[in-house]
Amino acid sequence: MDLAFSGDPAYEGISPYIRKSFFSVDSHERGELLTLRHVLEHIPSPWNFLDGIAAANNYQGLLYVEVPDLEWILEHRAYFDLFHEHVNYFRADDFLRRFGDGVIFQSKSFGGQYLSMVINLESLRECRSSRACEGDSGLQAGFGKLSAYEDMTYASLTETHEIVLWGAAAKGVVFAAKSPEAIKRKIIYAIDINPGKQGHFMPISGVEVVDPATGVARLDPSSLVVIMNPNYEQEIRESLPHSQPCLVLR
- 85, pLDDT greater than 50: yes
> How far apart (Å, rounded) are the C-alpha atoms in residues 81 and 21?
28
Task: Answer whether residue 3 shows pLDDT above 50.
Answer: no
Q: Does the pTM of the predicted model rise above 0.75? A: no
**If pLDDT is split at 50, 70 and 90, which confidence band does 135 have?**
low
* Statement: residue 153 has pLDDT above 60: yes
Confidence bin at 136 (pLDDT 50/70/90): low
Distance of CA 208 to the CA centre of its chain: 22
CATH level 2 (architecture), domain 156-248? 3-Layer(aba) Sandwich (3.40)
How many C-beta atoms surround the C-beta of residue 224 within 10 A?
Answer: 20
Measure Cα distances from 101 to 36, 37, 98, 178 in Å.
Answer: 19, 21, 10, 41
**CA atoms of 181 and 13, how far apart (whole Å):** 40
Highest mean pLDDT among 6-10, 21-25, 80-84, 234-238: 234-238
Q: Where in the chain is the domain with CATH 3.40.50.150?
A: 6-124
Instruction: Quick: pLDDT tens for 26-64.
Output: 666 678 988 999 999 999 999 999 998 998 899 999 999
Architecture of domain 6-124: 3-Layer(aba) Sandwich (3.40)
Residue 222: CB atoms within 10 A of its CB come to 10
pLDDT of 17 reads: 73
d(CA 27, CA 38): 20
CATH 3.40.50.720 domain position(s) in the chain: 156-248
pLDDT tens digit sequence for 184-228: 999 999 999 999 999 999 999 999 999 999 999 999 999 999 999
Q: Which residues pair with 208 in a beta bridge?
A: 201
Contact 150, 178 (CB under 8 A): yes
Please state, as a whole number, how many other Cβ atoms lie within 10 Å of the Cβ of residue 133: 10
**So what's the pLDDT on residue 214?**
98
- Return d(Cα 62, Cα 7) in angstroms, integer: 18
Q: What is the mean pLDDT of residues 113-129?
A: 86
- The three-point CA angle 46-123-43 to 5° equals 10
At 19 the pLDDT is 73
- Mean pLDDT, residues 216-243 taken together: 95
Query: Smallest Cα–Cα separation from 68: which of 46, 41, 94, 99?
Result: 41
| Integer Cα distance of 4 and 98 in angstroms | 25
